[in-house]
Chains A and B, each alone.
Chain A
Amino acid sequence: MTGSGVNGMIGMEGGRVEESIGELRRTFRSGETRSAAWRKAQLKALLQLLRDNENKIFEALKQDLGKHPVESYRDELGVVEKSVKYSLSHVDEWMAPKKSSLPLIFFPGKGQVLPEPLGLVLIFSSWNFPISLALDPVIGAISAGNSVVLKPSEQAPACSSFLANTIPLYLDSKAIKVIEGGAAISQQLLQQKWDKIFFTGSPSVARIVMSAAVKHLTPVTIELGGKCPTIFDNLSSPSDTEVAVKRVVGGKWGPCNGQACIGVDYVLVEEKFASHLIEMLKKTIKKFYGENPKELKDISKIVNKHHFQRLHNLLKEPLVAASIVHGGLIDEEKLFIEPTILLDPPLDAEIMTEEIFGPLLPIITLKNIEESIEFINSRPKPLALYAFTNDEAFKRRILSETSSGSVTFNDIIIQFVCDTLPFGGVGQSGFGRYHGKYSFDTFSHEKAVLRRSFFLELEPRFPPWNDFKLKFIRLVYSFDYLGLILLLLGLKR
């Protein structure tokens, strides 16, 4: 795991981690977190926390990532507020048992599915959306009635610190704790027994987390990323194209300057439209971020030197550098890389084999836009797939022939704010999902409950066995009620 040595020391020592977790277990066992009243009180308190601390949140995000308040609101604060409110208004409904209808043969009987909290859950959040990717899962865990430990990313220290200092002031600290730290603390946490672990981050760390979860058979949800492709078809209307380009630019450099799991990684376009697209992209970039590439406004910075180096190295390969058609300016001191567009970099270069997670946008040209399906399918399944097209048949092909966490037509990232859509990956982009009710479900166990009475006993279920009983059972299993009646009346052979 990456993380500075100093940060590994900040936070708790081993004994105190165990002590904290012991307290959380006792709280959960006491049943306190199970009531609807407790859950709603926590959610309301969280909403208050967000409202009272809007400026502090903006400051922390500015400090860690250089995010503008509008970006911070749009991608983090606003998203979390919306999630809390949605959960508050639905938690009673979600908690209610669901009836299942039983076939007549079980009469009299009642079946239901009862959601219950898993118990003690551990949430790891990542650095790029250090508020929303921390609090969104916490909202789900609380709604489902669990005790929670949140381990925010140490690579966004101001936000981590904000969460650690502010959450105890609003939420029930016997049940919800923030534990800060780096790799050392994470390792200690992973040694404990959890009832669920929710992880957002990179595949290499995810493997460590899932391997640690094996010891106690802890179920995990893994939210990764991938190279999210954007298919850009020819949209015959110029105004549609303009909107589409705005959305691509906004979806690439808007959320944390490309450092987003569902951001645009690369664009696929037909050869003949490539140069037009590039022109429009350039124009829109200037419009959004200003004319002077050295003084860009309203755009986040690269999170730290490590990632800056990584991105810089992607551009260093000679054939890659040669494919740059816009941007390329870098400033190591300010951790700044200009929005950069590349035209057809080599497909085996790292920039096309690894998730970019930064402000570099490769444009890959194809003879025919339909080839994009095969292109995408020959690569690992991404968290999101985007396609700008008005061709309904093409949309259907994309849907049925590719696989990804999600698909969005004619926009970017906005699927993230739709509470009714599950958010999660498949294949290399992860497994499990959340948002809205899916957050509640992901931190719940759906317990099946079958209630029977003593009335109307089906004697043929039991030994000693004989032919009559076997006949009876055959009929029961095929729900052949008429046959059953005939058998019982001695009229069936």
Chain B
Amino acid sequence: MAEDSETKKVFDAEAAASLMKELRGTYASGKTRSYEWRVAQLKNLMKIVDDHEKDILDAIRADLSKPEQESYIAEISIIKSSCTRALGELNRWMKPEKVKTSITTFPSSAEIVSEPLGVVLIIGAWNFPLLLALDPAIGAIAAGNAVVLKPSELCPATSSLIAKLVGKYLDSSCIKVVEGAVAETSALLEQKWDKIFFTGSGRVGRIVMAAAAKHLTPVALELGGKCPVVVDSDINLPVAIRRIAGGKWASNNGQACIAPDYIVTTKDFAPKLIDALKHELEAWYGKDPLESKDLAHIVNSNHFARLAKLLDDDKVSGKIIHGGQRDKANLKFAPTILLDVPEDSLVMNEEIFGPLLPILTVDKLEDSFDMITSRGKPLAAYLFTNNKKLKEKFVKTVSAGGLVINDTVLHFAEKTLPFGGVGESGMGSYHGKFSYEAFSHRKSVLYRGFAGDASARYPPYSDRKLKLLKALLSGSVVGVILALIGWS
């Protein structure tokens, strides 16, 4: 590094332009295209996570006070398994896909060839600061792109560690980390990227898309939404409760895009459900959750204040039936359950992204399905039931990025399923092969020979030519033969 830490330059528009120029040059050289280069980078990425597990866990703890096991499950092991999968499948992903051709283009052969988009920008989020920066990067690298990573500035220890380790282990002529906040991100967004992959809020997602629109850059936006959990009464309650509580509070204390946001259940079943939840919470976090080491903290005072405001809302303060304890100085917030808050309360009109869990009760569960989707399609929606009809109705009518029946959040770990939103929860998807495709252009290739030139295509036009064209375009072999016979 030329500069020392004292004279560190601000990353401004000029720096962004120069960075882009450098990366375009490297990309044009073809360096990122080879299978060998991609494999080497992916293997080194594995090494980062293998050799620096402790440093990573320390950084995440410093930034978010997340329990180590959570960080391990949600961040480190998913990166490892993504890398492993990419390494194992890359050969297959890179192969051209042969496709059938019809008599319309006979004789011909065709295939679809995958190629990298070029120079891509990945903007990570703060709640899973390692995962949401590196997981998309795995796809971008596997697809042969040059990459700029912008990790979240709300996690300075992790951001700095990512910059250091990526700089040390990966090919820094093609893969770069730019640290910074609004100013640096704006400078980056002014450039013309071949793709921008963004994880974060809908508000910032719009800013990213607006910047992309100026250059007609394709974007993938992984946003969030209010992920509902609909709970029926005919279920294995202890298992369901663990899965709901796990998805909510064991995922960064509710600060996750696919964490259950609120519950919908029947008036009859609610007391039993609430009882079971309270019980489980105590078993997990003890009588005083603020003392528990297994609960992640709120990321910063802004978000803490935001959550406090949701609870202090007049419409809601009388509805707290469990929890509500908070420690502002240490950014600790206890799992809190609310019962039947009004639908126009703040807590029901924005993504909670925290440990508050409203429970809404209805007479019939199906009545809630419309309400769920009318609030803007969430990233995930969950249903707990053994009733087959209810399952089918839910799957058919509830639109969300992904659905899970009888569990929560697990689909995130299943790499054969595309992970992404729809409507307000985002656009585009990734994980597994979908990550590779998110950063690729699938180029159509048609091979023709010179034999069999249908002169019906060319002027001077005539009725006979029209007949033959009709037969050719309809794919009718008989028609073609008849037209040809009629011709001669």
Interfacial residues, chain A to chain B (CB-CB below 8 A): 31, 68-71, 73-74, 78-79, 81-82, 85, 100-103, 106, 111, 113-114, 116, 118-119, 195, 203, 206-207, 210-211, 213-215, 217, 219, 222, 224, 235, 237, 239-240, 243-244, 246-247, 249-250, 254, 288-290, 297-299, 377, 395, 399-401, 403-411, 414-415, 417-423, 426-428, 430-433, 445-454, 457, 459, 461-465, 469-470, 473-474, 477-479
B235 to chain A, nearest CB (A): 7
Residue of B nearest to A378 (CB): B28
Of the listed stretches B95-103, B156-164, B326-334, name the one at the interface; the rest are far from the partner chain: B95-103
The contact of B422 among A68, A69, A211, A447, by CB within 8 Å, is A447
User: In the complex, what distance in Å separates the CA atom of A453 from the CA atom of B68?
Assistant: 28
Report if A215-B206 is in contact (Cβ < 8 Å); known contacts: A73-B466, A418-B102, A447-B403.
yes
Closest to A209 in B: B213
B392-428 contacts to A (CB < 8 Å): 395, 397, 399-407, 410-411, 414, 416-419, 422-424, 426-428
Q: Are A111 and B400 neighbours in the complex by a CB distance under 8 Å?
A: no
Taken together as a complex, chains A and B put the C-alpha atoms of A267 and B283 apart, in Å, by: 75
Q: For B416, what are the chain A residues with a Cβ–Cβ distance below 8 Å?
A: 100-102, 111
Query: 6 closest Cβ contacts across the A-B interface?
Result: A70-B461, A298-B459, A448-B402, A454-B236, A78-B473, A477-B77
Q: Is the CB of B444 within 8 A of A405?
A: yes
**CB-CB contacts below 8 Å: B444-468 with A:** 444-450, 453, 455, 457-462, 465-466
Tell me the B434-486 residues at the A interface (CB within 8 Å).
441-450, 453, 455, 457-462, 465-466, 469-470, 473-475
Enumerate chain B residues within 8 angstroms of A414, measured Cβ to Cβ. 105, 108, 446, 448
Tell me if B63 is interfacial: C-beta within 8 Å of chain A: no
- Whether a CB of chain A sits under 8 angstroms from the CB of B183 is no
| Chain B residues within an 8 Å CB radius of A69 | 461, 466
Chain B residues whose CB sits within 8 angstroms of the CB of A395 once the complex forms: 447
Residues on the B chain within 8 Å of A215, using CB: 206
Q: Give every chain A residue within 8 A of B117 (Cβ-Cβ).
A: 426-427
Closest to A112 in B: B417
- Check if B69 sits within 8 Å of A470, measured CB to CB: yes
Residues A399 and B450 in contact, CB atoms below 8 Å apart? no
The answer on a CB contact under 8 Å between B450 and A457 is no
Q: What's the least CB distance linking A31 to chain B, in Å? A: 8
| Contact status B450-A239, CB under 8 Å | yes
B112 touches A421 (CB 8 A): yes
User: How near does chain A come to B103, taking the closest CB pair, in angstroms?
Assistant: 11
- In the complex the two chains form, is B444's CB within 8 Å of A415's CB? yes
Task: Tell me the nearest residue of chain B to A476, going by C-beta.
Answer: B77
Instruction: Say yes or no: is B223 at the interface (Cβ < 8 Å to chain A).
Output: yes
Of B15-23, B240-248, B260-268, B313-321, which binds chain A?
B240-248
Residue of B nearest to A110 (CB): B405
Q: Chain A residues near B72: list those with CB within 8 A.
A: 470, 473-474
Q: Please tell me if B214 contacts chain A, counting CB pairs below 8 Å.
A: yes
List B contacts of A106 (CB < 8 A).
Answer: 410, 414
Residues of B within 8 A of A (CB): 28, 30, 33, 67-70, 72-73, 77-78, 80-81, 84, 99-102, 104-105, 108, 110, 112-113, 115, 117-118, 194, 202, 205-206, 209-210, 212-214, 216, 218, 221, 223, 235-236, 239-240, 242, 245-246, 250, 283-285, 294, 386, 391, 395, 397, 399-407, 410-411, 414, 416-419, 422-424, 426-429, 441-450, 453, 455, 457-462, 465-466, 469-470, 473-475
On whether the beta carbons of A288 and B459 are closer than 8 Å, the reply is yes
Nearest chain-B residue to A212 (Cβ)? B213
User: A85 to B42, alpha carbons, bound, how many Å?
Assistant: 45
Task: Kindly identify which residue among B250, B403, B465 contacts A70, using a CB–CB cutoff of 8 Å.
Answer: B465
Chain B residue nearest in CB terms to A477 = B77
Complex Cα distance, B246 from A449, in Å, reads 19
Residues from chain B with Cβ under 8 Å of A290 in the complex: 460
Nearest neighbor of B453 in chain A, beta-carbon distance: A243
**Pair B407/A477 contact, Cβ less than 8 Å:** no
**With A217-B206, A422-B442, A457-B242 given, is the CB distance from A408 to B448 under 8 Å?**
yes
Checking A70, A250, A400, A406 against B466 with a beta-carbon cut-off of 8 angstroms, the contacting residue is A70
Can you name 24 A-B pairs with beta carbons within 8 Å? A78-B470, A101-B416, A111-B414, A113-B418, A206-B216, A210-B209, A214-B209, A217-B202, A247-B453, A288-B458, A401-B30, A409-B447, A411-B108, A415-B446, A421-B446, A423-B444, A428-B216, A447-B402, A450-B417, A451-B405, A453-B406, A461-B250, A463-B250, A463-B284
Q: Is the interface of A mostly helix, strand, loop or mixed?
A: mixed
Residues of B within 8 A of A70 (CB): 459, 461-462, 465-466, 469
Judge whether A450 and B403 touch: CB under 8 Å. Answer: yes
Query: Which residues of A are found within 8 Å of B239, using beta-carbon distances?
Result: 454, 457
Q: Are A246 and B406 in contact (CB under 8 A)?
A: no
Q: Tell me if A450 and B401 are in contact (CB < 8 A).
A: no
Q: Within 8 Å CB of A68, what residues of B?
A: 459, 461
List of A residues within 8 angstroms of B442 by Cβ: 422, 433
CA A270 to CA B17, docked complex, whole Å? 36
Interface contact A449-B405, CB-CB below 8 Å: yes
Pair B400/A422 contact, Cβ less than 8 Å: no
Cβ contact within 8 Å between A450 and B414: yes
Q: Considering the chains assembled together, what is the distance between the CA atoms of A340 and B285 in angstroms? A: 80
Distance to closest chain A CB from B462 (angstroms): 7
- Asked if B473 contacts A82 (CB within 8 A), the reply is yes
Q: Is the CB of A219 within 8 A of B427?
A: yes
Taking the closest CB of chain A, its distance from the CB of B461, in whole angstroms, is: 4
A431 to B285, CA, bound (A): 49
Given A68-B461, A469-B69, do A454 and B235 touch, yes or no (CB 8 Å)? yes
Contact of A477 with B80 in the complex, beta carbons under 8 Å: yes
Docked CA distance A294–B285 (Å): 89
A61 vs chain B, min Cβ distance (A): 13
Partner of B418, one of A433, A448, A477: A448
Are B427 and A464 neighbours in the complex by a CB distance under 8 Å? no
Tell which of B294, B404, B428, B459 touches A463, judged by Cβ atoms closer than 8 Å. Answer: B294
Give complex CA distance A399, B105 in Å. Answer: 20
Q: Which residues of A contact B429 (CB under 8 A)?
A: 446
Q: How far is the CA of A281 from the CA of B452 in the complex (A)?
A: 20
Question: A247 — which chain B residues lie within 8 A by C-beta?
Answer: 453
**How many Å lie between the Cα of A401 and that of B443 in the bound state?**
12
Query: Which residue of chain B has the shortest Cβ distance to A451 in the bound complex?
Result: B405
Q: Is the CB of B246 within 8 A of A473?
A: no
Give the distance in Å from the alpha carbon of A401 to the alpha carbon of B206 in the complex: 34
A210: B residues at CB distance < 8 A: 209, 212-213, 216
Report which residue of A68, A211, A399, A445 has the largest number of chain B beta carbons within 10 angstroms of its beta carbon.
A445
CA distance A414 to B104 in the complex (A): 9
The smallest C-beta distance from B256 to any residue of chain A, in angstroms, reads 15
> Closest CB of chain B to A422's CB: distance in Å?
6
Q: Please measure, in the bound complex, the distance between the C-alpha atom of A85 and the C-alpha atom of B407, giving whole angstroms.
A: 41
Considering the complex, give the chain B residue whose CB is closest to the CB of A70.
B461
> Out of B102, B448, B475, which one reaches A410, CB within 8 Å?
B448
Q: A217-B424, A428-B216 are in contact. Are A449 and B402 (CB under 8 A)?
A: yes
Q: Cα distance A412–B89 when bound, in Å?
A: 35
CB-CB < 8 A to A114: which residues of B? 395
Residue of A nearest to B377 (CB): A445
Chain B residues whose CB sits within 8 angstroms of the CB of A71 once the complex forms: 461
Contact, CB under 8 Å: A450 / B458: no
A237 surroundings in chain B (CB, below 8 A): 450
Measured between C-beta atoms, what is the minimum distance from A229 to chain B in Å?
A: 15
Q: Which chain B residues border A111 with CB–CB below 8 Å?
A: 411, 414, 416-417
By the criterion CB–CB under 8 Å, are B459 and A449 in contact? no
Cα(A320)–Cα(B197), bound, Å:
43
Closest beta carbon of chain A to B381's beta carbon, Å: 10
Give the distance in Å from the alpha carbon of A414 to the alpha carbon of B70 in the complex.
54
